Structure 1
Amino acid sequence: MFWKQRKPAASADPTEVTMSLGEHLEELRWRLARALIALVLSCLICIWPAKYLLQLIARPAMLALQRHSQPTDFLSTSPVETLLMYIKVVVTAGVVLAAPYILYQLWAFVASGLYAHERRFVTRLLPWSIGLFFAGVAFMYVFVLAVSLNFLVGFNTWLPLPHPVPTTYERWILGEPAPGVPTTQPVWDEVATLPIFLADPPDAPVGKSWINVAERRWKVRTPDGVLSRQLDKDGARGLVATHWKIGDYLSFFLIMMIGFGVAFQTPLVVLFLVGSGIVPIETLRKYRKIVILIIVILAGILAPPDFFSHVLLSIPMVGLFELGLLLAARNAAAPPADRDGRPESHEAS
């Protein structure tokens, strides 16, 4: 049965495992079944907390939209779009939650085909790789996402609207009558005013209305609760109104998350290239400027198209590249037994 693991064949060397092709396939099926079960259980666990995770994902966008007097809600343009989006969040959270166990199952299958020093090398770098990936995601969320969204929304409002009042010629072309002249001027002391609060008053009676300047909304209390309407800052409207689809924004967030997580693997890539002998460390030092140029180009591909996000990704990538060079130099200067966990061998010729 698929949940029973086949025992590998005995080997003369206790540090090595010899398995036939059938045993490899049986173990692969067993590992994949366990990983799939873990993923399904993780997704079931994440069904309820996914809504709070979605709030966390949407918060930077809401703040950027609110700052530029744009609608802070998202659009759903099909009957199933919101449901599919929520499933995507659940699956993503489930993959993250089950990732340690899935990676363990993958590693347990691959490790049997590696040498002892290769296994030690991977077990050293794998925890750092996971940590750097989550560090990249955290850096993106804390420092980059809000800056990028603020620029992108602000660019839409920066594009000016045409003057809304038609000229005399335009009125004649459109057949619009001339505006009438007001016969009376308002007396401001007799005009009703609305109270302004930073937070909703908890004791507002039914029928009273107020303005919440923190949320930029006009609110009125009714017997069924509080009704509200968003207020736009006069002159803040631009040529393009920003109203994102929830699926498009979630895809944008996931692409940025993966891009920054992968970008933060830079020092491990340097360690691998130097440690495996593919690229000597002297070559990386000699062509440092070219490597940095390549990093800047890659940052432009991984980051959103605005200048600030590009810079905020390029700087840590260059710093991580320099860190990788330092670690590679330190590893090269270490005794052979400390480089990858393998003692220097002396085989008889």
Structure 2
Amino acid sequence: MEKEKLAENTFIGHLLELRRRVLIAIIAIFVGFLVSYPFSKSIYNILAAPLIAVLPKGSHLIYTSLPEVFLTYVQLSLISGFVIALPVVLYQFWAFLAPGLYEHERRAFFPLIFASIFLFVGGMLFAYFIVFPNAFRFFTSFSGSDITAMPKVDSYLALIVKFSLAFGLAFQIPILIVVLVRVGILQVATLKRSRRYAFLICAIASAILSPPDVMSMVLLLIPMYMLFELGLFFAARIPTPKPVVEESNDEDEQIPERSAADEMDAAEASFRNENGDDQK
């Protein structure tokens, strides 16, 4: 009963700690939202720059419902507030997990967080500066005298957020490979032999995640496969944990194995000794 009560108290304590950490993270995001909202229009103009730069002359962004622009600015402020509060959110996540980790797990886990953030931001910047200008230039090339490009404000925001997140997640490939190799789910030798399948998976993922044109697919496929090779490079240089060999005190396991003939000779000798003792 005491053990059950102690386990229940421990579980409730973890839940209360989790609630406190989540509440702090939500407050930080709300504060980031309040800070971001006065600059929401400027932030949107920055995000719309790749499209505006390639729009035909006379074309511009439009909105078809009265609250559309306001709701777009609110959504953009929430996203920006989350980015501003990201250090606080990650710290709360780390503070909740750290007490349950071993020292070597903390040393391995902490650098992965920073590397993951760096790659995620790098993926979004790659999409903004490289993929979006080329993709939007391709899409607006179909505009002519009888067809005019006039994208909607909320549709454009949904598009850039969707594909920015997709590129940010695609850039997590090195982290994923290192973690899977580190925990022993994958082997470096197996990954090296499966490069052709990795290239095929990257091609399928790039076709799904990128905007629907060949140029954007290629622009995502190349860095994805390069990131796969980068993850393979680092995974090959990280020592994998050695399996723990349990020591046994069983004397039978310490005795070297004997052949069947030896066992029969030993049994026969034992039988003769027993008979000799009985005759005496």
TM-score by length of 1: 0.65
Q: 1:239 deviation in Å? A: 4.2
Query: Residue type of the partner of 1:247?
Result: D
Alignment match of 1:69 (pick from 53, 57, 65): 57
Aligned length: 241
2:191 & 2:58 partners in 1: Cα distance? Answer: 47
Q: Does 1:317 align with 2:257?
A: no
Alignment match of 1:60 (pick from 50, 57, 61): 50
RMSD in angstroms over aligned alpha carbons? 2.1
**1:153 aligns to what?**
140
Q: Does 1:48 align with 2:38?
A: yes
2:62 & 2:245 partners in 1: Cα distance? Answer: 67
Q: 1:323 deviation in Å? A: 0.7
1:60 counterpart SS class: helix
Q: Give CA deviations for 1:79-105 in whole Å, capped at 9, x if unaligned.
A: 111100000110000000001101111
Q: 1:330 deviation in Å? A: 1.3
2:38 counterpart SS class: coil
Q: Does 1:246 align with 2:234?
A: no
Q: 1:51 deviation in Å? A: 1.8
List aligned pairs for 1:278-297, cutoff 5 A.
278-297=185-204
1:78 counterpart SS class: coil
Alignment match of 1:258 (pick from 155, 158, 165): 165
2:152 & 2:245 partners in 1: Cα distance? Answer: 64
Aligned pair in 2 of structure 1 residues 331, 151: CA closer, same or farther (>3 Å)? Answer: same
**1:142 aligns to what?**
129
Q: 1:317 deviation in Å? A: 0.7
Q: Give CA deviations for 1:31-54 in whole Å, capped at 9, x if unaligned.
A: 111111111111111112222111
TM-score by length of 2: 0.81
Query: Residue type of the partner of 2:71?
Result: L
**1:164 aligns to what?**
none
**2:252 aligns to what?**
none
2:66 counterpart SS class: coil
2:119 & 2:162 partners in 1: Cα distance? Answer: 17
**2:262 aligns to what?**
none
1:47 counterpart SS class: helix
Of the structure 1 ranges 261-270 and 46-55, higher mean CA displacement relative to structure 2 is found in 46-55
List aligned pairs for 1:2-151, cutoff 5 A.
20-65=10-55, 68-71=56-59, 73-151=60-138
2:185 & 2:66 partners in 1: Cα distance? Answer: 52
**Equivalent pair of 1:147/1:308 in contact (CA under 8 Å):** yes
**2:270 aligns to what?**
none
Query: Residue type of the partner of 2:30?
Result: V
1:254 & 1:32 partners in 2: Cα distance? Answer: 24
Higher fraction of helix: 2
Runs of 4+ displaced beyond 3 Å = 343-349
1:331 counterpart SS class: coil
Unaligned runs of 5+ in 1: 1-18, 158-236, 333-338
1:123 & 1:344 partners in 2: Cα distance? Answer: 23
Query: Residue type of the partner of 2:13?
Result: E
2:199 & 2:193 partners in 1: Cα distance? Answer: 12
**Equivalent pair of 1:70/1:242 in contact (CA under 8 Å):** no
